[in-house]
Chains A and B, each alone.
Chain A
Amino acid sequence: MPEPILVVDNVTKNFGGLTAVNEVSFQVRPKEIMGLIGPNGAGKTTLFNVISGYYTPSRGKVLFQGKDISGKTPYALAGRGIGRTFQAVKPFPGLSVLENVIIASFLRHPKRARAEEHAWKILEFTELTDRAHQSAASLTLAGRKRLEIGKALALEPTFLLLDEVVAGLNPTEVDRTIELILKLRDQGITILIVEHIMRVIMRISDRLVVLNFGQKIAEGPPAEVANDPGVVEAYLGGGEA
Chain B
Amino acid sequence: MLLVPAVVHDTFLLRVFTEAVMWIGLAVTFDVLAGYTGYLNFGHSAFFGIGAYITAILMVRAGWHFAPAAALGGAAAGLGALIAGFPTLRLRGAYFAIATWALARAIQQGVLMMDITGGPDGMRLPALLSPRFFYYVMLGVVGITFFVYWFLLERAPFGLKLKAVREDEQGAKALGLNPTKLKIQAFILSAIPTGIIGGVFAYWVTFIDPASTLGDLVSDQALVMVVFGGMGTLIGPVIGAVMIFAFKTLFWAYLSDYEVLYLIILGAVIAGSVVFLPDGVLGVLPQPQRRKEARNHA
- A contact set with B: CB distance below 8 Å: 52-54, 73-75, 78-79, 83-84, 86, 90-95, 99, 102-104, 106-107, 110-112, 115, 120, 129-130, 132-133, 151-152, 154-155
Contacts and interface: CB of A to CB of B under 8 A. Distances in A.
A110 to B, nearest CB: 7
A133 B293 contact: yes
Interface in B248-297: 290, 293-294, 297
Contact of B173 (A73, A111, A132): A73
A104 B175 contact: yes
Nearest to B175: A104
Contacts of A73: 173, 178
Interface of B: 155-157, 160-161, 163-164, 166-168, 170-178, 232, 290, 293-294, 297-298
Contacts of A115: 157
Given A106-B161, A133-B294, A74 B174 contact: yes
Contacts of A103: 157, 160-161, 163-164, 172, 175, 177
A110 B157 contact: yes
Given A79-B176, A106-B177, 19 more contacts: A52-B174, A54-B173, A75-B174, A75-B176, A75-B178, A84-B174, A86-B174, A90-B174, A91-B171, A92-B164, A94-B166, A94-B232, A95-B160, A103-B160, A103-B163, A104-B175, A130-B298, A133-B294, A133-B297
B45 to A, nearest CB: 28
A132 B177 contact: no
A94 B172 CA distance: 14
Nearest to A136: B167
A26 to B, nearest CB: 22
B282 to A, nearest CB: 14
Nearest to A89: B171
A90 B170 contact: yes
9 contacts: A90-B170, A94-B232, A103-B160, A104-B176, A106-B161, A106-B176, A110-B157, A120-B297, A155-B175
A54 B170 contact: yes
Given A90-B168, A94-B167, A112-B155, A107 B176 contact: yes
B160 A102 contact: yes
Residue of A90, A95, A110, A130 ringed by the most chain B CB atoms within 10 A: A90
Contacts of A132: 294, 297
Nearest to A83: B174
Given A75-B177, A79-B176, A155-B176, A86 B171 contact: yes
Contacts of A94: 163, 166-167, 232
B157 A106 contact: yes
B166 to A, nearest CB: 8
Given A94-B163, A94-B167, A151 B175 contact: yes
A73 B180 CA distance: 12
B173 A75 contact: yes
A94 B175 CA distance: 17
A78 B176 CA distance: 5
B171 A90 contact: yes
Contacts of A112: 155-157
Nearest to A115: B157
B174 A93 contact: no
Contacts of B163: 92, 94-95, 99, 103
Contacts of B175: 75, 78, 103-104, 106-107, 151, 154-155
